[in-house]
């Protein structure tokens, strides 16, 4: 049975929150690396919630998170959650990742729309990825080709790329990415943003899943994060 940690915000000042944030993120990243946290993020009223794979993991997190220990979260409750109404065998789980970014949604959105070649593709990027119906190509000769179209753009909130064409040379079925979607959803926490990325259609049954999920973890959680937070592009254009 899974466990949910529900926290109530103390209304702490932004400066206080940002001083503690790096230590909070380090703890969250540790649980993500161990696959012990399924999701984490805020409510609209500035409270927050995290879902863990077990009550033991949830209880341990509460004893370690500096947001809780230092009073930035006013109160915490842990509740057991039985999600067995939807059996895992009936759902194909596309690759996804969620994490906090200490920047406003506008800055995250700007990086996802106008800054793509800085964190994905580099000089192998061509086209445009800023507005609805824009199209762009990532072409790493002999390894990866994909053509994406922006099919949904909600300023500062959501961007969806649809893969119109693909060829991953190292696969038996080289067009596995075709007709899949990359979905970026941005949530505002009041002092930072939560970015939820999902590659819809990239499921464990596909040959590309293991390698591409590792790749997306690097591209999204490290290269995009570093570009948004520090203004540091991974690629020299």
Q: Which of 43-57, 96-110, 207-221 has the lowest mean pLDDT?
A: 43-57
Instruction: Please tell me which residue, 47 or 203, carries the higher pLDDT value.
Output: 203
Spatial distance between the Cα atoms of 89 and 204, rounded to a whole number of angstroms: 12
User: What does the pLDDT read at residue 118?
Assistant: 98
74 and 97 within one domain: no
- The answer to whether residues 121 and 37 belong to one domain is no
**Does 62 have pLDDT greater than 70?**
yes
**Per-residue confidence band for 90, with pLDDT thresholds at 50, 70 and 90:** very low
Sheet architecture: strand order including 144-154: 95-101, 193-200, 181-188, 158-168, 144-154, 135-140, 125-127
Look up residue 124 and give its DSSP letter: G
The domain in which residue 98 lies consists of: 92-230
Number of domains in the chain: 2
In a domain, 86, yes or no: no
Percent of the chain past pLDDT 70, that is, above it, reads 95
pLDDT single digits (tens) 30-50:
888 787 888 887 776 667 889
Tokens encoding 226: 């570093």
Within-domain flag for 237? no
Domain boundary pick from 81, 101, 132: 81
C-alpha gyration radius of the chain: 19
| Residue 23, pLDDT above cutoff 80 | yes
**129 and 20 belong to one structural domain:** no
């Amino acid at each position: 049975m899974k466990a949910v940690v529900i926290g109530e915000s103390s209304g702490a000042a932004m400066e206080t929150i940002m001083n503690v944030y790096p230590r909070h993120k380090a703890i969250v990243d540790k649980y993500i690396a161990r696959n012990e946290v399924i999701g984490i993020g805020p409510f609209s009223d500035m409270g927050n919630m995290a879902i863990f794979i077990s009550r033991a993991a949830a209880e341990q997190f509460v004893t370690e998170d500096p947001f809780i220990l230092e009073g930035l979260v006013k109160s915490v409750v842990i509740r057991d959650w039985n999600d067995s109404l939807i059996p895992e065998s009936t759902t194909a789980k596309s690759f996804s990742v969620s994490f906090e970014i200490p920047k406003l949604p506008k800055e995250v959105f700007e990086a996802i729309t106008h800054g793509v070649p800085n964190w994905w593709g580099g000089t192998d990027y061509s086209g445009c990825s800023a507005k609805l119906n824009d199209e762009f190509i990532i072409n790493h000769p002999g390894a990866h080709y994909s053509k994406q179209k922006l099919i949904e753009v909600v300023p500062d909130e959501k961007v969806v790329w649809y893969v119109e064409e693909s060829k991953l040379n190292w696969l038996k079925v080289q067009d596995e990415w075709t007709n899949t979607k990359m979905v970026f959803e941005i949530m505002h926490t009041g002092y930072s943003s939560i970015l939820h990325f999902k590659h819809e259609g990239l499921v464990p049954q596909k040959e590309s899943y293991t390698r591409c999920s590792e790749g997306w973890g690097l591209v999204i959680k490290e290269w995009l994060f570093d570009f948004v937070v520090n203004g540091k592009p991974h690629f020299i254009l």
